[in-house]
Amino acid sequence: MLCSYSWKLLGLSAFVVALSVECVVQLLRRRRKPLREVLFFPAGVTCTDAELHPERPVPCTCKLPHVESSLNRLLRHLLSARQSLDLCVFSFSSLHLGRAVLMLHERGVRVRVIADSDYMAVSGSQIGWLRKAGISVRHDQDTGYMHHKFAVVDKKILITGSLNWTSQAIQGNKENILVLDDTVIVQAFVDEFEKLWELYNPTTYNFFPNGINKVALV
């Protein structure tokens, strides 16, 4: 049987071990390299099977170049989501990005999408497919455009820039994307998303009360 001195010693040892573990965790957190990545477009046409079709055999034998492009990097950042993806996009017709978002939804990641009410309905838009799959989509009710292009992964990583989520923008335009995990900046975008998500809550739907078509205002 342990005497009271031994119990005290045991307690003290457990405390010291817990303290050491906490110190190591804090140290590792502080030493973690911040994520600061810049992706420029247009991206070359490359194989995206490794990201979008992990079920297919490797190595892939298709004729596309198997090198890393900005699109591959973007897909990988999106697909790193484990809990949530909050997406605010003006125009969304890229099949690659559409598949990535559907994959996340199928994996059980909570996906929420805010879209522009005009552009979500254009030919080739992925928004209808996302809705059909059961993903929550809300859209603006304003005369101005919902012109944001950002994604927040797990409320920790921000992906934002000029890039519309279209094949034309990805493979034809000069565009940029920043990928950051700065907590202050990410939080600002998380807050903006939550603000818009509530603003565009369908229970308060009041679509263009004056009958103004915003396309006519361009």
149 among known catalytic residues:
yes
* Closest CB to Zn ion among residues 60, 178: 60
* Closest CB to Zn ion among residues 35, 60: 60
Among candidate residues 77, 148, 149, 156, the one labeled active-site is: 149
Among candidate residues 147, 182, 191, 195, the one labeled active-site is: 147
Q: From its phi and psi, is residue 39 left (phi > 0), alpha (psi between -120 and 50) or beta?
A: beta
Q: Is 91 helix (H, G, I), strand (E, B) or coil?
A: coil
Contacts of 193 (CB under 8 A, 6+ apart): 86, 88, 112, 114, 150, 152
Nearest approach in angstroms of CB 163 to Zn ion is: 23
Which residues form the interface with Zn ion (CB under 5 A)?
A: 47, 49, 60, 62
Helix (H) or strand (E) holding 13: helix 4-31
147 among known catalytic residues:
yes
Among candidate residues 118, 142, 154, 181, the one labeled active-site is: 154
Nearest approach in angstroms of CB 55 to Zn ion is: 14
Angle at 194 between CA 199 and CA 164, to 5 degrees: 90
Nearest approach in angstroms of CB 66 to Zn ion is: 6
As annotated, the active-site residues are 147, 149, 154
